Structure 1
Amino acid sequence: MEVFFKWLIKFNVIMENTYSTCSSDPAGEHQSRKNGCHINPSHKNGRRLQLFQMLILPFIPILALIFQTAVTLQNSLLYRQEIVDIDAQVTAATDLGKFVTQMQLERSEVAFYIFTNGNTLRSNLTQRFNVTNLALSKMTTWPRFVLPHHNGSQTVFFDKEAFKESLEDFREKISSEESTVVEVLHWYTSVNAVMLEHLTNQIKETDIGVWKYLIAFKNLLRSIENTGISMVYGINYFARGHLQHSIYTSFVKHDAISQDLLNSTFNYVPQLKSLYHKMSETSPQHHKIHKLREQIIHNERRRHNDDDSIRYYDLMASYVEDLRILQKSVRSYIRDDVNNNLQDANNKEAVGVAILVLVLLVAPIIIIFVRNAVATIQMYAAHLAEKASELHREKLRSDTLLYQMLPPSVAQQLKHTRQVPAEFFEAVTIYFSDIVGFTEIAAVSTPLEVVRFLNSIYKLFDARIECYDVYKVETIGDSYMVASGLPVKNGDRHICEIATMALDLLAGSVLFPIPHRPSERLQIRSGIHTGPVVAGIVGTKMPRYCLFGDTVNTASRMESTGKALRIHISLEMKKALDLVGGFKIEHRGFVDIKGKGVLDTYWLTCREGGIPPKTKNNNIPDSFYLDSEPAFMQRLRENDR
């Protein structure tokens, strides 16, 4: 069980570490897989693992409770079995005690019969033998014991039938002539000693409170046994008038042992002492016994008298009966205590069984409730993950649309700070283009045709400038404005990027037919200038990224004073291209530029080696002229798939 709990704890730690390395955001799912994580609660396998983990959590305390209840129930069963064993011991001890009691009574009457030379006035031996036989037949267990004889021989009794035969043989030999008191005393004392030894070995120590009563029961039974032995010697004294030294010593010994065992019994069961004193106060024979006992202890020679023997026998028999009353009280205490303990064991067993059954019944219900709760949570989590994925896609779509209107770096800064300060750029190249004859074309075209025409040409331009490090600033009517070197600075690359892009756009426009006038070809006029500008966000309702400065005006004048299908550049642009190299330039001459005066300008004709293949695109599909959705929307749709 301990190994199982350790495995569960280790499994939970692994699951927690796994979930901590996994991204719960659908957008981060690819990154999670890339990092080696294959568990996602929003997926089917992930939900199964999560359900298993959630079911384990309530199952651990339930399993612990079942284990604890099972251990408690097992302890209750062991306790109950111990009580049952004690009850069996008490029953066997009671039967054995009853038999020993009858043997003690039989010994007393046989001794009285012998000491009084066959006097039968006190008792009927045949009746006494029958009572002893009845107690022997009721014994449920029989100890295998060895009985020593007076002559030194031994007899082994394996069952009570063999003992009964030996007992009958001994009884037939009892007579005033054939038997002596020593033989009788040895026989009965040996049998009782063996029985009491078996009783001592049979009643084992226990932690239950009944052990005090059991020890008191054994001590009281031994006290009665020693009292019976001393009573035999007392009868001998009054019947013969004097005790020999050995017999006198035995009397004193057994009388002292009897009193000591009786006092020990009172120590274990104090309530017996008060009962004994009460009997002593109400019974006058206790005082007479004390006087007769004093006579025997003095052992003065006297005239033998059968009447004194009978009187002493009757008094001692009455005293022994009082002791047996105490013995019955002890048996009653033992029985009550055992019954109480047995009832307590039954109650504990019933409670343990009830708790175990209740746990077994409630555990599946708890697991079902947890499973339903986890399923509901997982369903909500899956729905939430789906909504989060949709939200992420919509965010990408809105961000992409925002990045078409503003530079990504500026847009991010605007989203976080809601304010973008103006920035000065020392070197930027600006491109302007215009459609030649657009006013005449618009005059003879419908508004829808004009919109489709502009959309087609700008789609072509937008597709081509994707290959360059440039930023489309804006389109105003037929005017197309592109800049390089901002908002992210790129060193001197902005000169080459704009020049190559201008040649590419010019090459593409030559092959571009006007959609509603297929016989006519598009003609554009381009202008380029390089220099410093200031850029920033203008407006709050519809913010735009605008460029300011003389560089913008000069580039615009280069376009307006240029010619169709030509790229008009300034002297500053020409010098910059000469430094870069790889471009062919023709000198145009001096041109009067409005607001600038006369400027020396040039034509950008081509690039040495031509336009790079990756940017050259002369094959324009027919679908390009249709009024279709923007290219960035097509890319979004492809990403969603």
Structure 2
Amino acid sequence: MSPRSNSCIAESSSVRSLSSDEVSTSKSIKKKSRWARATDPAHRRGRRIQLLQMLVLPFIPILALIVQTANTLHDILIYRQEVSDIEAQVTIATDLGKVVTRMQLERSEVAFFIYTNGSQLRFNLTQRYATTDETLKNMTTWPLVTVPKDESKVHTYHVVNKEAFQARLDDFRQKISPEESTISEVMAWYTSVNAAMLDILTNQIKETDNSGVWRYLIAFKNLLRSIESLGIASVYGINYFGRGILLGDNYVSYVRHEALGRDLLNGSLTYVPSLKTLYAELTRTMPGYGRIKSRRDEILRNYRRQPSIDDAIVYFDSMTTYVEELRKLQRELRHMIRDHVNLTLQDASNKQAAGIAIVVLVLVISPIIIILVRNAVATIQMYASNLAQKARELKREKRKSDTLLFQMLPPSVAQQLKQTQQVPAEYYEAVTVYFSDIVGFTEIAAENTPLEIVTFLNSIYKLFDARIECYDVYKVETIGDSYMVASGLPVRNGDKHVSEIATMALDLLAASSVFQVPKRPGERLQIRSGAHTGPVVAGIVGTKMPRYCLFGDTVNTASRMESTGEALRIHISFEMKRALEAVGGFRIEHRGLVDVKGKGLMDTYWLECKDGGIARAAELDLPTFFEDVRPVFMRRLREDDAL
């Protein structure tokens, strides 16, 4: 028995061994328990039980894992969201705090301007206005702020956008004057606006016990309000040094805001003890801090003194410096909050990692479930593997058959034939047909054995087939020594068909000269070529070994061009000559009138060469190319003889 037969039998037995029907048939011979038959994957009931195992058994740990992971991740996400909200709240409050800071500084500048009865500092006040306006312009969001309609603070309204607030602020600035009658009203307006903004600013920050950052948030809010209260107190301090005394409500307001600012500052230092060290360093390095304390005591005593603009300027500068130092504390506290939030987020990440570790632990301690699932899947994989193998074999065989079909028929026609099982004949308006044959082939065939002739023709056609791959042409057929090629079908290529055939004909003529005629030493092969351009009808002929054939006078004329031609020359018709002239790039020689059978006298031409040579004619490695040009069946015959 041959190896091929053995492989076929082995393949057949392999298929049979995996067939569920035959497995069930062979197992039914033996006595088996009901449970064994029920769990046998070859039986329908067994397949259902295994399917149920695959669904139920993994579902138990997966469900537990999903519930546990979902709860853990839910808690972690809430935790992270709360911490992120704190960060966002403080960020928004910081941005709004910049506006409050600019309004505080503007209030101080306006107070200085009014309390000094209007001085040369108006230019600085204009700069302060511009700085405040720039800060307002850079705000990305605007809260709902309640501001007084006039300086009396009796009526208020809501400002819904920063443009409206800017307009109200500009209107208020125009009314500022150094008269005594407007001092309290102007200061009250600024204080009211700042208080409204500060309320919104501090309300942006919500204390929470979940993250442990509440101490920092309360300290941050107290510090903001402390700076505001001290800023208001400094306004009355400027009034004292500029006017010489604080009367009535002005003195009470100074004492109240000064005490409130100190209490809020001490509260911030108490909530965040690390700020005490920073504040102590601030008071130690700040120039003129002792003078601030002495001037505060002087204002609290409120003894009448000589008004002094210079003292007001010094007090104003020292309080501005002190407030700026407090703002440094505010920025440092902001960094502490950010660091604490980052640590909290890291803690959340650690908790998330712990949750993942629990999931891994559940998977590690579930080997029994994994083994059961693996056994169930292994059975399915056995059938799936066999099916995949057969699919690959089917695909490989289909590729072989398609390759063979595409060698016998044009790919587009073969694809259409496979899909519709019929290909109607099609008319082509312009096609170029080429014929060639071997000069003296009858004598050559008489001098050589049939096997030698087959070998000779195979070597020629092998070369020709390799060369025409470089061109947009289709090899129609070979009959004996006749070689037929066409261009422009089955896929139309416009006007390229005539230049493709002409270039190919020159290429094949040059390539054929490498062959030596068998048993004629020194004599080279000579071919006779002919081509014609015109319309044809092409279609599939036959059902057994179908062929793609061309019909029409164009085919006959191309054949006559070849038969009436000469050796080593390419004979073309007038129609092809005219088409080549339209394309350009070819040298053509007029032959004259030729008596063509069935056509009469025809004006024909010789195709000489192509300008610039044949670019697509690659150099052939002839020793390698002709290493073995014998047909396959001859090689097999000789191999069998050797055995």
Q: Which fold has the larger relative contact order, with Cα–Cα distance below 8 Å and residues 6 or more apart in sequence? A: 1
Normalization by structure 1: what TM-score?
A: 0.48
Rg larger for: 1
